[in-house]
């Protein structure tokens, strides 16, 4: 009887142990499955992390490439800006040249003396208020540029009637007198200098220069109104300021020939002069 009780107790304990084993196995199996699931999850997460890292590196490479492109574009932009600035400068210079040329052409077309023609030694047309445009010879070889030649006399006798001296006569490339009316209008319009060059028989030259040359009107008998300050190597032959161009009555001089004895009175101060 006693053995039966022991056997029953052993069986009961075996059942409990079996049950405990089953529970333990179940828990182990469950834990193992959970561990497998965690491993799978971790693996998936690792794959995801690797993908993220790859994407990040790709993004970094893309960003670096974009930065490189931006840097190149900035350099291109700077280069183009420099080119634009250079072209703008060239355009401004061309515009300045064009404006300067336009102004020069305008000055030439509206020239009232030889000043706009700079170094020219040719014959040019000038315009003055009150009279028609007329041609004058310019000279830049004697005393700089911009001089208007108003009288040249070598070996030609200049006994002329008053009207000739008023309007001018002769060959502008040889011996001539520009005309007192033109000289009056020129000196009336703007300040002028007077440069007289004399060539002597021995070939030597001398000059007289006056810094404020002005001639009066016909009503004023073309009076030598102003000369200004004298400088030069020739004698001051024009010291007699405020004298008339002709020493006889202009009202009766229209058809009168200049007498050879009056040669010194005959426009004596107009010989070999140039005006600026």
pTM of the model: 0.59
Domain boundaries, the chain: 1-109, 115-275
Looking at per-residue pLDDT, the higher value among 106 and 119 belongs to 119
How does residue 240 score in pLDDT terms, banded at 50, 70 and 90?
Answer: low
- Per-residue pLDDT, averaged over 111-119, amounts to 87
Strand pairing partners for 170? 176
CB 232 within 8 A of CB 249: no
Q: Is the pLDDT of residue 231 over 60?
A: yes
DSSP characters over 169-230:
EE-TTSSEE--HHHHHHHHHHS---EEEEEE-TTS-EEEEEES--EE--TTTTT-EEE---E
CB 117 within 8 A of CB 146: yes
pLDDT 10s digits, 58-81: 888 888 888 889 999 999 989 989
State residue 153's pLDDT score: 85
115-275 is classed CATH 3.90.215.10:
yes
CA angle 71, 72, 75 (to 5 degrees): 90
State residue 101's pLDDT score: 81
CA angle 232, 215, 217 (to 5 degrees): 170
């Amino acid at each position: 009887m006693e053995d039966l009780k022991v056997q029953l107790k052993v069986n009961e304990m075996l059942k409990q142990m079996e049950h405990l084993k089953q529970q333990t196995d179940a828990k182990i199996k469950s834990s193992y499955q959970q561990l497998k699931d965690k491993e799978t999850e971790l693996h998936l997460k690792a794959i995801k992390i690797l993908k993220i890292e790859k994407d990040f590196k790709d993004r970094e490479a893309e960003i670096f490439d974009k930065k490189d492109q931006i840097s190149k574009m900035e350099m291109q932009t700077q280069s183009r800006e420099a080119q634009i600035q250079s072209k703008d400068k060239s355009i401004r210079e061309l515009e300045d040249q064009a404006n300067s040329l336009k102004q020069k052409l305008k000055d030439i077309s509206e020239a009232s003396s030889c000043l706009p023609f700079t170094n020219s030694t040719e014959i040019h047309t000038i315009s003055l208020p009150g009279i028609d445009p007329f041609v004058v010879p310019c000279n830049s070889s004697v005393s700089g540029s911009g001089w208007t030649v108003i009288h040249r006399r070598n070996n030609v006798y200049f006994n002329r009637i008053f009207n000739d001296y008023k309007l001018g006569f002769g060959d502008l490339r040889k011996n001539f007198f520009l005309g007192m009316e033109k000289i009056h209008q020129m000196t009336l319009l703007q300040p002028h200098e007077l440069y007289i060059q004399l060539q002597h028989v021995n070939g030597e030259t001398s000059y007289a220069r006056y810094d404020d040359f002005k001639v009066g009107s016909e009503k004023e008998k073309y009076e030598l109104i102003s000369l200004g300050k004298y400088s030069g190597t020739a004698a001051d032959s024009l010291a007699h300021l405020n004298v008339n161009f002709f020493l006889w009555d202009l009202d009766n001089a229209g058809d009168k020939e200049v007498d050879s004895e009056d040669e010194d009175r005959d426009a004596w101060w107009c010989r070999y002069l140039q005006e600026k």
